[in-house]
Amino acid sequence: MRLLPCVQAWFKRINMLPQNLNSISLIILLCRQGVDTKRYFSCEGGSVPLSCDWGYIKVITANYGRTDHTTCSTGRSLHQLSNVDCFQETSVHVMSKRCDGRKSCSVPAVNSVFSDPCVGTYKYLDVSYLCLPFRKSVTCEGKRTLIDCGNGVIWIHHANYGRRDLVTCPHKLATTPDCYSPQTRSLRSSCNGKNYCQLNASKTSFLSDPCPDVHKYLEVMYSCI
């Protein structure tokens, strides 16, 4: 299989520039696995359920707003549909912190989650995502874990120190599934390119505690390249 045409096509499709080895390695992984994008949308007030029968979710694009006159238009006035230049720039970030690295997730298409990018416009949530063959590591708060790629090297795709469900690392203080503190950038800095890396699920290891009274865990999605 020739990878070059595939790599070029993926950079165009998901707007990723080959600025670093992590981006390039992800694209090559997509080409080798024959991965394709999935797309889902929901009208305002509904929810977007994402799921992967195999692999884990990686959000590629997302927008909570309106970019055409026809989507989710039934029963709506012209005034509610006229603004087709409605974008919420934080949509990808919101979807990623809730869904990346999970087998399934459901995100409400509501202002309380995304905030309102265009008051008076009837909006919808449009999401595209991939199902990728990542490796997953979960470290409960106060514990340490070693991720090891043997002769390969580690590439971090997603990391969150918090809590996204009530089942993982059960504890009497596991009281909310909405505790997010993305740590992807910091763990890429400390782990990428190494054969192994120690993960420490402690609030002293990160800059902030996203929910001081909640028992957290460090969730990391990575590949061995």
Q: Between 2 and 179, name the one with better pLDDT.
A: 179
Dist CA 118 CA 49 (whole Å): 24
State if pTM tops 0.85: no
Q: What is the pLDDT of residue 37?
A: 81
N- to C-terminal Cα distance for the chain? 18
Residue 18: predicted pLDDT: 40
Question: pLDDT tens across 27-62, in order?
Answer: 566 665 556 788 999 999 999 999 999 889 989 899
Q: Which fold has domain 37-132?
A: Jelly Rolls (2.60.120)
DSSP state of 111: H
pLDDT of residue 33: 58
Q: How many other CB atoms are found less than 10 A from the CB of residue 198?
A: 13
Residue 221 has pLDDT above 50, yes or no: yes
Report pLDDT for 55. Answer: 87
> Which tokens sit at 15?
């707007």
| CATH, domain 135-224, list 2.60.120.740, 2.40.50.140, 3.40.50.2020, 3.20.20.10 | 2.60.120.740
Q: d(Cα 221, Cα 99) in Å, to the nearest integer?
A: 12
Give 54-86 pLDDT, tens digit per residue: 889 989 899 999 999 999 999 999 999 999 999
| Confidence at residue 208, expressed as pLDDT on a 0 to 100 scale | 75
The reply to whether domains 37-132 and 135-224 share a CATH topology is: yes
Task: Check whether 16 has a pLDDT greater than 50.
Answer: no
In angstroms, the CA 180 to CA 142 distance is 17
CB atoms closer than 10 angstroms to residue 28: 15
Domain assignments of the chain as residue spans, ordered by start: 37-132, 135-224
pLDDT tens for 113-160 read: 999 999 999 999 999 998 888 899 999 999 999 999 999 999 998 899
